[in-house]
Amino acid sequence: MRAVAVIAVILYHLKISLSAGYFLPGGFLGVDVFFVLSGYLITGLILKELNETNTFSFSNFYSRRARRILPALLLVMIFSMLVAWTQLLPTELTRFAKSLIAALAFVSNIFWFFTLGEYGAQSGLLQPFLHTWSLSIEEQFYFIFPLLLFGVHKFRAGRWTKIVLYILLVSSFVAAQITTTHIHAFLSFYSPVSRAWEMLAGSLLAYLEIARKQGKLNTYRIAKCIPAASVAVLIYSFSTISLEASSHPGFTTIPVVLASCALIWFAQKGEPVTQLLSSKATVFVGKLSYSLYLWHFPIFAFGRMRLAGDPTLLDYSAWLALTATLSWLGYALVERPFRLTLSTKAFVSAIVGSLVVVAAFSFVVIRYNGFPQRLADVASLYGKNEIDNQKLAYESTSILRSLSPGEVIGDWNAGTASQHERNDLWFTPQARKKILVIGNSHSKDVFNALYQNREALDGVEVARFALAQDLPDNEFEWLYSSPNFAAADIIIFAPKYNRLTVSALSKKVEEIMGKGKKVVLLGNAAEFTPPGTLPVFDWYIRRENHAAVKTEVDRLAFQYEGIKAKSYNREIEQIANSHGIPYLDRRSLMCDDASKVCEVVTPDNMKAMFDGDHWTLEGAKFFGARMISRWFRSPPFL
């Protein structure tokens, strides 16, 4: 099963483009298979020891965990540090260093929720240690669960163990479903509370299996088709479910969890699927699964950073070959010896030494802001422009920070409403019109555009309220109870629209209009997908090896405009027309189809975008002036 899970995850992270999306869009569910299997194996070990000795050695348990987890993890970290030093921009290197510390502290899930948020985002593919979020959740579970199981067994042994497992499983699942659908989908994704039920499903299975062997549970007559059906469910889920359109973790996850449990429970000698999963090749991949999981994501991330174009079959093959080679070498030379043969003294010395190296590197990089002097030659081609796009991304939230003293606001949480947005009134009594811009991080761009040009608004004032991309009901309750919503005359929808946004849009428009507000729908901004991972401006400079020429960069941007944003714009305009409200084409601020240009450079030759679809402050100011001159001189803004 480990082999099935890790192969699904690796293929998902390759992001192989197909005409209808990506190959194996539900491969992320391989992690859920890991969770079930981990819960099953760990609980089985704990219960076996408790039943045989009526006690439990926590020191032995955590010593085994350290030998299992740390050697391979530290090896991958040290390798990645060497590559990161040569490839990453200063802010990227600083974030990388912070991610190492988070991974060592087993709080990666918390770190990535606050610094990245959306797991499936393209920017996440460039974060070498994003994948350690799942390792952190497992370890958080292992820190608490053995203590809980020991306590229950010690004071209320027997059936109370099963009852407690059931209660915890159901409670965790309910928390996951509520958080996913009504609070914040990616909070649920990264939360150990929302994920615990998957591991507890494996735990319950281990309990029932031990109970069965002790005569506490009858052996069932089982159909040999169940393992095959379970594999079919897994393959179907991996092939069809997408993270964007699913209730995960939650009801979407149930078939995968049940199929994983069924594979474990109904495995038996002589059954074809069991034989396949027990074959030498599958078992070998399973043994390497931890190393494969650790190595693949940094290799893919660093590989993408070096691309001059989209990944080719040769690129994918090279990444997979390197992953397999380093995983096997790491397993044979480090992971297995450290776990099985190395003395305690040698193990502790090697681990402490490695921890010191990783921690020292991380803290020094953070202290010196990623050592920008490493990239002086390339930076000289940028002139007045900032080479570090992550720095520009953070700078794009500076206006919101200045308006929200005491709050931590950055590009990582720009799609979440701040306390200032939820509780304070931004408008003054003198305002001629009051506009509230709502949406995810793209609403921040529109707010920046209008706020920097506020003197040209002739008494019109603007505020902003952040909403998740799927427009969840609970966040609209926060919106409706905010002082700015109560005071606003006009509500401008300005998110980045995806399928979930468009599906929820009409209902939300009706709700807001029912509260006596005028509504304006702003279409998607243009988004750009040049080869590789750099924004068009940066890609041009690296390709041409000279300073940016506005006319050339803008023509290049037109060639690499993505089609998805434009396709949603047609639907948004139809929704606006059906409700009799204005639709404003945000893309038209940037692109001219007749001239075949999309402006990603300002007239002052400044970078207008820090990634494929977000505006820099300079870009927002430029597009904001155009927005006001085109749209704010007529109703409903007059």
Domains identified in the chain, total number: 2
Question: Is there a single domain that holds both residue 111 and residue 199?
Answer: yes
Q: What is the mean pLDDT of the chain?
A: 91
Which residue, chain included where needed, has tokens 């530290």?
Answer: 74
636 found inside a domain: no
Nearest CA-CA partner of 638 in 455, 438, 425, 435: 435
pLDDT of residue 20: 61
For residue 29, pLDDT over 90 is answered with: yes
> What CATH number corresponds to the domain at position 582?
3.40.50.1110
CA pair distance 68, 80, nearest whole angstrom: 20
384 found inside a domain: no
For the residues 245-254, what does the mean pLDDT come to? Answer: 87
Q: What DSSP state is assigned to residue 525?
A: P
pLDDT of residue 221: 56
Question: Is there a single domain that holds both residue 280 and residue 407?
Answer: no
pLDDT of residue 124: 84
Question: Is there a single domain that holds both residue 316 and residue 450?
Answer: no
CA pair distance 312, 344, nearest whole angstrom: 45
Question: Is there a single domain that holds both residue 171 and residue 295?
Answer: yes
CA pair distance 520, 573, nearest whole angstrom: 10
Question: Is there a single domain that holds both residue 132 and residue 91?
Answer: yes
Q: What is the pLDDT of residues 297-333, one digit of tens each?
A: 999 999 988 875 678 899 999 999 999 999 999 999 9
For residue 614, pLDDT over 80 is answered with: yes
Per-residue H/E/C for 395-408: HCCHHHHHHCCCCC
For residue 216, pLDDT over 50 is answered with: no
Please say whether the beta carbons of 47 and 206 come within 8 A: yes
Residue 215: which pLDDT band, with cuts at 50, 70 and 90?
very low
The residues, ordered by sequence, that sit 6+ positions from 35 with a Cβ below 8 Å of its Cβ are 134, 137, 138, 195, 198, 199, 202
Report the share of the chain in percent with pLDDT over 70.
95
257 found inside a domain: yes
**Residue 470 or 573, more confident:** 573
pLDDT of residue 117: 65
CA pair distance 457, 434, nearest whole angstrom: 11
Residue 25's identity, in one-letter code, is P
Residue 158: which pLDDT band, with cuts at 50, 70 and 90?
low
DSSP result, 415-427? TS--HHHHH----
Question: Is there a single domain that holds both residue 120 and residue 180?
Answer: yes
Question: Is there a single domain that holds both residue 254 and residue 328?
Answer: yes
Nearest CA-CA partner of 360 in 92, 109, 104: 104
**Residue 175 or 20, more confident:** 175
- Between the two ends of the chain, the Cα-to-Cα distance in Å is 64
| Cα of 475 vs its chain's centroid, Å | 20
Question: Is there a single domain that holds both residue 396 and residue 345?
Answer: no
Residue 217: which pLDDT band, with cuts at 50, 70 and 90?
very low
Q: What is the pLDDT of residues 541-557, one digit of tens each?
A: 988 888 999 999 999 99
Q: What is the pLDDT of residues 581-603, one digit of tens each?
A: 999 999 999 999 999 999 999 99
Last residue of a domain, one of 329, 364, 399: 364
CA pair distance 80, 374, nearest whole angstrom: 17
61 found inside a domain: yes
Question: Is there a single domain that holds both residue 282 and residue 431?
Answer: no
CA pair distance 416, 426, nearest whole angstrom: 17
Q: Which domain holds residue 182?
A: 2-364
Last residue of a domain, one of 331, 364, 397: 364
31 found inside a domain: yes
Q: What is the pLDDT of residues 432-449, one digit of tens each?
A: 999 999 999 999 999 999
pLDDT of residue 116: 81
pLDDT of residue 218: 42
Residue 114: which pLDDT band, with cuts at 50, 70 and 90?
confident
Question: Is there a single domain that holds both residue 188 and residue 52?
Answer: yes
Residue 289's identity, in one-letter code, is S
Which H or E element spans position 582? none
Question: Is there a single domain that holds both residue 306 and residue 414?
Answer: no
pLDDT of residue 64: 93
Please say whether the beta carbons of 243 and 197 come within 8 A: no
| Cα of 24 vs its chain's centroid, Å | 17
Determine what percent of the chain falls in helix, strand and coil, rounding each to the nearest 5. Answer: 65, 5, 30
Last residue of a domain, one of 364, 381, 401: 364
Nearest CA-CA partner of 241 in 228, 257, 229: 257
381 found inside a domain: no
For residue 564, pLDDT over 70 is answered with: yes
224 found inside a domain: yes
* Ordered strands of the 490-493 beta sheet: 460-466, 433-439, 490-493, 518-522, 583-584
Question: Phi and psi at residue 416, in whole multiples of 5°?
Answer: -120, 130
377 found inside a domain: no
Question: Is there a single domain that holds both residue 360 and residue 394?
Answer: no
